[in-house]
Structure 1
């Protein structure tokens, strides 16, 4: 295991010397009181305090036993932060109040000022001063200090504290933006905006790719998906000219995510053609389409083709947009998968996540919907309970996510996942059955890049593989693999 060494120098000039400014009057001797004055830019690191392992700390004035800092601070930070002021305590005083400690022996009282601002001014008195974030994301801050160190230290100590730090590893460009064209559809006379990512039919995929100038991937196995996991999509082959797939009226949907118990992004294509001698009109609902067919005005062609067509905006809702638009390798999977919906350009920009295909090849995927509702809400995607019908169906493929081991950019905070199929494979599907990989001894974890790696270590009884069942429910995620750089 990799070790992080933190050195706290506790003494009269100790930590303030870490932040020496170029100003010649930074320290002005006044007997037992010493002037401090500096401006410095600092970068946070992992908070060494017990219970703060996933937090970030930027130490400005570190603890000096027997001394007291007093003054004012002005700061500007790249992220919203809290202010931490530590106070010397003895063991009897530490009970019943918030504390901060690295080793459990030397304990400080903790005052946490939860400003959650990127800039402010603050007057302080205490044994130490820092900026703090409960996020694991590194931040940078510029601070100006004007104050005094009061008192002489009663003891000078150097503590070398070795913290066990889990090894981390990440892929470059672990998360990237992927801009995808949207189409207009109709539900109940109202507009829907949706995308098309996959087709069970190669010719249809080619036609759609040319139409939207963005690749629709071929996923033959989704043609095997059972009817109870599908919904109808009515596509018009003639009639009123408009911006539909074939240049006629927009496609008609049978439901939206508002009908959660029925909604599926997987659509069975029904082609609609107006009969000779009939006057075409805009059909605005499934009821209208069915009535026109029963009245002999149009005819249906049940193609057997299945499209993956997730809805982005529907009459009374839309997919969640992320509040934090900055893309980093360490960004959370929670809080939404969409960066921007551009109605004028008719595009939507997703976060595309990087992982590995079964043979170690790079793959990128987006997330559009899932079941059960808990994981869907956490990721900020549409809930689609009918996907549970795919748990034992060949239309879904296995995707392996790591539950422990080496920390990284995977959705559970560990190494990236490994898929059971890649684009171009005959068994590729955008519908993924999630398996969890757990090392029996996390300290012996290694980076795995292929499905055969998992199989080999599993056979040697070094890790376990189990199907994910959040809230004791079948778990399927709609994660189309895409090329985000096209």
Structure 2
């Protein structure tokens, strides 16, 4: 049985009226900052604030002199609640602003977010955080907090307590959540293709597509110069026969599908097609027909240089695997398929979105659509895409670190969630990920790592080994678009 060092925070409130007895979780020192991450159930008590005697308060993060908290909170509650954020102020500076105080001497600025909801998510910065009800009925809430403590608290006593644990686990909340994404119709070989659009290399194009499909197409600048042998072609029509395509004309035409495994890529090079004046317009059924019409002088091509991530969900004679177990839970198996439902009536597909960490420790979610080599693709239940291997040494793929031992958790190998070296909004973000494996040299030293600098630090101390993943001695690239599953 291994021993873990857990840090128990005992918050002692000066008046002894409100206290949080203990929060046991994983903290990471970062100079004057400490990482805080926990999920806990709280019961409300009478709000001790002056003028709040008939209200209920559940204090999640207690005020401590010299301390600022910032991060994100997700909660569910038995009653509709408001969110309370307190701010340290000098009482002389209150000047009519809303305040909260127990004794009238120690005064806090009060931000009251009047959600009146039983669940929600909220980004916060302040000296304290709580849930509040303006009636006297007690409530219980389960809260997940992911953030930082900044400053040097003077009223927090930190004790290192040895706890006996057989199998320490990383207990992330909402480790897996549903993400329902709109599908589009396309054509290959005269037959239907249904696909999604998750990323684009051009900001204006991504913005226009986002507005059209009412789902964010994320900007991925790193896709702009991926090798041509990593791409297929998507023909987009700017005039011709009316239809449901991007510009209101016929459906887009693809040059391959997963059925042509050695050629297929989810990354599509955008070619805009325009009919010349005086030509008889028809609906094209295949890429070959489009190319023949161009060679015959009937249409013109504009090779935009734009790359879209367009994973195909249904194609002639095939579709992505749908999970047999439709329930999405925090501890669900990673394999067996990444989709829980394909709804052709609503033109949507529901993926399992997996939680991980961005390079700076922020929460990210991603889906998995295709991979190479075929072994890992089959295990995850996604499309095999050998052409992705051409990105192994290219900047169009970004590093994603997964754990092969250590703290058990929701990662693909059964251990803690992974850490990405780029996030949405970063100049080097791409949905194509080059997988690295992290192995603790002594699993008894294992801790939760949450940032790229954590990896660098522990690697520098020779506590972990980092190596590129090469299943079956093959280059390993996974298409994992980062998304906002809550949009």
**TM-score of Structure 1 vs Structure 2, range by shorter chain:** 0.5 to 0.7
* Residue 183 in structure 1 maps to residue 184 in structure 2: yes
Q: Note if contact 2:175-2:355 (Cα within 8 Å) is conserved in structure 1.
A: yes
Give the match for residue 421 of structure 1: 422
Q: Note if contact 2:370-2:384 (Cα within 8 Å) is conserved in structure 1.
A: yes
Q: Deviations over 1:83-121 (max 9, x none)?
A: xxxxxxxxxxxxxxxxxxxxxxxxxxxxxxxxxxxxxxx
Q: Deviations over 1:376-403 (max 9, x none)?
A: 0000000000111000000000000011
* Residue 366 in structure 1 maps to residue 355 in structure 2: no
Give the deviation of 1:444 after TM superposition. Answer: 0.8
Mapping of residues 164-179 of structure 1, within 5 Å: 165-179=166-180
The structure 1 segments of at least 4 consecutive aligned residues displaced by more than 4 Å after TM superposition are 1-4
Give the match for residue 378 of structure 1: 379
State the alpha-carbon separation in 2 of the partners of residues 320 and 378 from structure 1. Answer: 11
Mapping of residues 308-387 of structure 1, within 5 Å: 308-387=309-388
Give the deviation of 1:224 after TM superposition. Answer: 1.6
State the alpha-carbon separation in 2 of the partners of residues 311 and 238 from structure 1. Answer: 24
Give the match for residue 232 of structure 1: 233
Mapping of residues 92-111 of structure 1, within 5 Å: none
State the alpha-carbon separation in 2 of the partners of residues 436 and 243 from structure 1. Answer: 43
Q: Deviations over 1:162-210 (max 9, x none)?
A: x972211221000000000000000010010000000000010011001
Give the match for residue 462 of structure 2: 461
Give the deviation of 1:447 after TM superposition. Answer: 0.5
Q: Note if contact 2:2-2:444 (Cα within 8 Å) is conserved in structure 1.
A: no
State the alpha-carbon separation in 2 of the partners of residues 247 and 438 from structure 1. Answer: 51
State the alpha-carbon separation in 1 of the partners of residues 447 and 380 from structure 2. Answer: 27
Give the match for residue 260 of structure 2: 259
Give the match for residue 134 of structure 1: none
Give the deviation of 1:283 after TM superposition. Answer: 0.6
* Residue 246 in structure 1 maps to residue 282 in structure 2: no
Give the match for residue 194 of structure 1: 195
Greater C-alpha Rg: 1
Give the deviation of 1:279 after TM superposition. Answer: 2.0
Q: Which runs of 5+ in 1 are unaligned?
A: 5-162
The SS at the match of 1:323 is coil
* Residue 215 in structure 1 maps to residue 216 in structure 2: yes
The SS at the match of 1:466 is strand
Q: Which runs of 5+ in 2 are unaligned?
A: 5-163
Give the match for residue 154 of structure 2: none
* Residue 408 in structure 1 maps to residue 396 in structure 2: no
Give the deviation of 1:470 after TM superposition. Answer: 0.3
* Residue 295 in structure 1 maps to residue 300 in structure 2: no
The SS at the match of 1:293 is helix
Give the match for residue 451 of structure 2: 450
Give the structure-2-normalised TM-score: 0.67
Give the match for residue 74 of structure 1: none
State the alpha-carbon separation in 2 of the partners of residues 164 and 454 from structure 1. Answer: 24
Measured on the aligned residues, the alpha-carbon RMSD in Å equals: 1.4
Q: Deviations over 1:301-349 (max 9, x none)?
A: 0000000000000010000000000111110110000000000000000
Give the match for residue 277 of structure 1: 278
* Residue 206 in structure 1 maps to residue 214 in structure 2: no
